[in-house]
Structure 1
Amino acid sequence: MRTAIQLWTLRDLREPLSDVLDRIAAAGYDGVEFAGIGDPGVSRRALDETGLGIAGVHVGLDDLQSDSRTVGNQVRTLDAPYLVLPYLDDDHFASESAVESTAALLELLEAEFDRPLLYHNHDHEFVPLGDGTAFDALLDRTTVGVEFDAGWAHAAGQDPVTLLRRLDGRVPVVHLKDMTADGEPTALGEGVVPLQAVVDAAREAGTEWLVFEHDDPENPVDAIQAGIDGMRPLLE
């Protein structure tokens, strides 16, 4: 597996993208994941200059639906292998019929693009539904891939290892995130998520990219190094 950092972690770092990517490359990551497309030409050139790869790009539902042609062109320029829908609100998982509509939506969105669409989970997808959760029901109703966020799944009371085993073959990107017992993001190794077991299960499930994300780091510059330092021993 290759290592990356989700740039949402660094959203408060007021530096040019080229400087941010220099920091990431110097820390030893293999790549990055973008939170929004920005200027794809500038981003592509900055990636090439640092030698960093790209795990994917997060694009919101409104942009995916309103101008799929422009988004498709931008993603091709960026050369992102995966297009990630980062969030759908609670209403999309509130009932069996809502999940059916959500599954159909994901299938329609993926058909608009020339590369796989992944859905990134938070915790609200794991509300009880039928004999399982809304997330279970979604997996049953669509073949669209998943960018699995282990931290949010754990915060929802789920076993991320069991879920990764179920996602075998359809989880090319995993967000490695640690959480406190109260469900708050924290530094890798300082929370309650079974990180080593998650990494091992991700490898067995065919995951290509292990992406570090901290939703609310105290110091984003320190988080860059802390993230890769936390990931390295898990991958040995």
Structure 2
Amino acid sequence: MRASRRGFLQLAGGAAIAGAGALASAGPAVAVSSRRVVPPGHIGIQLYTVRSLMTEDAQGTLDALGRMGYATVGVSGLYGHSPAEFRAMLDRAGLRAVLTHLSLDAIGGDWQRELDDAHVLGVEYVVVPSLPGSLQNPAGYRQVASEFNVAGEAARAAGLGFLYHNHGFDFDTVDGEVLYDILLDGTDPRYVDFELDLYWIVHAGYDPVAYFRRAPGRFPVLHVKDRAVDGSFADLGYGTIDFPRIFGQRRYSGTREYVVEHDQPVSPLLTAKRGYRYLRTVRF
């Protein structure tokens, strides 16, 4: 599953990698001709991508995303608004919140209130987006897996899905163990699934499709984030990740939601436009 060092350097350089296991293409990603498409009603954007604009004008930013054609958003904070107020803004913009990111601390606090707020927002999933450095070791990940099982069971009882969103450090090998694998193997698939950030798993040198085959149906949400030749973030279709290959494995991944994200966009609305256009035109 782990890419070789030589193979990964080829990936980062955009060179072709032989075989169906290739993760990237040499040039900008382009749409390919086939019958399968990303369902328009399941194309979304993580609001973290446009956070600078949300801080200045939340309603105006949401309205702009709705006009672009986005159907859903991933919530990344409420920007000073109550859940009810934020839901009203989404409704006005014609958007549906499909998920909300909540800190690990939220699990240990008033978790039921967090779940109630998630219902007000209208989301399907509550997502822990990251883990603190103090827990980035095998013992810490086992502890988190146990906590996720409890929180996920409560979320399921409340009619919500519970997910974890990865970063690159989740694929570090510590004391001979891949940290992400500890979560994958140590959580109950009845209660815990995963929001797979495609940039970070590829950047770490791993193959998303291999994980789909290893844990079928546990990846209902993808963060669709592209990777430039130099390893930086890229707008969709301007990087190296072979999204058609990944999307084409939906029967294994169980993916329902495709959420555009860019951590450091120079022009957030241009990034959003490019992301929507790519997901509307890509074929696999």
| Whole-Å separation in 1 of the counterparts to 2:247 and 2:175 | 30
| Equivalence for 1:149 | 197
Q: Are the counterparts in 1 of residues 74 and 259 from structure 2 also a CA contact under 8 Å?
A: yes
| Equivalence for 1:169 | 217
| Whole-Å separation in 2 of the counterparts to 1:166 and 1:174 | 16
Matched letter for residue 74 of structure 2: E
> How much has 1:20 moved relative to structure 2?
1.4
Matches within 5 A, 1:68-79: 68-79=111-122
| Equivalence for 1:201 | 249
* Runs of 4+ residues over 4 Å off in structure 1: 129-132
| Equivalence for 2:21 | none
**Structure 1 residue 80 and structure 2 residue 114: aligned?**
no
CA RMSD of aligned residues (A): 2.0
Give the SS at the match of 2:282.
helix
The higher relative CO (CA closer than 8 Å, separation ≥ 6) is in: 2
**Which is worse superposed, 43-52 or 55-64?**
43-52
| Equivalence for 1:221 | 269
| Whole-Å separation in 2 of the counterparts to 1:120 and 1:202 | 18
| Whole-Å separation in 2 of the counterparts to 1:101 and 1:132 | 15
> How much has 1:159 moved relative to structure 2?
1.0
| Equivalence for 2:76 | 35
Q: Which runs of 5+ in 2 are unaligned?
A: 1-38
> How much has 1:204 moved relative to structure 2?
4.5
Q: 1:4 pairs with 24, 44, 47, which one? A: 44
| Equivalence for 2:150 | 108
**Which is worse superposed, 142-151 or 62-71?**
62-71
Q: Are the counterparts in 2 of residues 90 and 125 from structure 1 also a CA contact under 8 Å?
A: no
| Whole-Å separation in 1 of the counterparts to 2:85 and 2:107 | 21
Q: Are the counterparts in 2 of residues 179 and 186 from structure 1 also a CA contact under 8 Å?
A: yes
**Structure 1 residue 24 and structure 2 residue 65: aligned?**
yes
| Equivalence for 1:126 | 171
| Whole-Å separation in 2 of the counterparts to 1:134 and 1:211 | 24
| Whole-Å separation in 1 of the counterparts to 2:121 and 2:104 | 19
| Whole-Å separation in 1 of the counterparts to 2:252 and 2:60 | 35
| Whole-Å separation in 2 of the counterparts to 1:192 and 1:120 | 21
Matched letter for residue 103 of structure 2: G
> How much has 1:191 moved relative to structure 2?
1.9
**Structure 1 residue 98 and structure 2 residue 140: aligned?**
yes
Matched letter for residue 280 of structure 2: R
> How much has 1:23 moved relative to structure 2?
0.9
> How much has 1:56 moved relative to structure 2?
0.4
**Which is worse superposed, 8-17 or 199-208?**
199-208
Q: Please, what TM-score do these two structures have when normalized by structure 2?
A: 0.76
| Whole-Å separation in 1 of the counterparts to 2:162 and 2:77 | 14
Q: Are the counterparts in 1 of residues 44 and 73 from structure 2 also a CA contact under 8 Å?
A: yes
Matched letter for residue 216 of structure 2: D
> How much has 1:58 moved relative to structure 2?
0.5
Q: Which runs of 5+ in 1 are unaligned?
A: none
| Equivalence for 2:281 | 233
| Whole-Å separation in 1 of the counterparts to 2:95 and 2:184 | 32
> How much has 1:131 moved relative to structure 2?
6.6
Q: Please, what TM-score do these two structures have when normalized by structure 1?
A: 0.91
Matched letter for residue 87 of structure 1: S
| Whole-Å separation in 1 of the counterparts to 2:127 and 2:56 | 24
Matched letter for residue 41 of structure 1: A
Matched letter for residue 248 of structure 2: D
Percent sequence identity is: 31
